[in-house]
Amino acid sequence: MNETIYLAALNKIMTGNWKMAHELIFYFGSASAVFNARQKELSRLLPEIDPAAFLSGEVIEDAAKELEYCQREGLEVLTIDDDAYPSRLAETADAPLVIFKRGCRKLNGARFLAIVGTRHCTPYARKNCDMIAEYMSSLKVKPVIVSGMAYGVDTMAHQAALRYGLDTIAVTATGLDTVYPSSNRNLAPRIEERGAIVTEYWSGTPAYPFNFLSRNRIIAGLSDATVVVESRIHGGSLVTAKAAFNYDREVFTFPGKLEDECYAGCNMLIAENMAQLARSAQHIADGLGWYLPTGAEEKRSRQARFESLPFEKREILRALRQCGEMDAARIAAYCSFDITQTSFLLLEMEIEGLVKHISTNKYVYL
Q: Supply the DSSP symbol for 202.
A: P
At 96, the pLDDT band (50, 70, 90 cuts) reads very high
Per CATH, domain 309-365 is 1.10.10.10: yes
pLDDT of 250 higher than 90: yes
pLDDT of 276 higher than 70: yes
At 267, the pLDDT band (50, 70, 90 cuts) reads very high
Residue 360 confidence (pLDDT): 63
List all residues 6 or more positions away from 253 whose beta carbon is below 8 Å from its beta carbon: 227, 228, 229, 231, 241, 266, 269, 270, 275, 276, 277, 278
Question: Where is pLDDT greater, at 361 or 40?
Answer: 40
Amino acid at 178: T
Residue 53 confidence (pLDDT): 79
At 359, the pLDDT band (50, 70, 90 cuts) reads low
- The CATH code that applies to domain 112-287 is 3.40.50.450
For the segment 304-327, what is each residue's pLDDT rounded down to a tens digit? 777 788 889 888 988 887 777 788
Strand order in the sheet with 196-199: 76-79, 98-103, 196-199, 168-171, 144-147, 112-117, 225-230, 250-253, 276-277
pLDDT of 180 higher than 90: yes
List all residues 6 or more positions away from 264 whose beta carbon is below 8 Å from its beta carbon: 231, 232, 233, 256
Whole-number mean pLDDT of the chain? 90
Which segments of the chain does DSSP mark as H helices, in order?
Answer: 3-13, 18-28, 31-35, 39-45, 52-55, 58-73, 87-90, 123-137, 153-163, 187-194, 209-222, 236-246, 264-271, 281-287, 297-308, 311-323, 328-335, 339-351
| Residue extents of the structural domains in the chain | 1-74, 112-287, 309-365
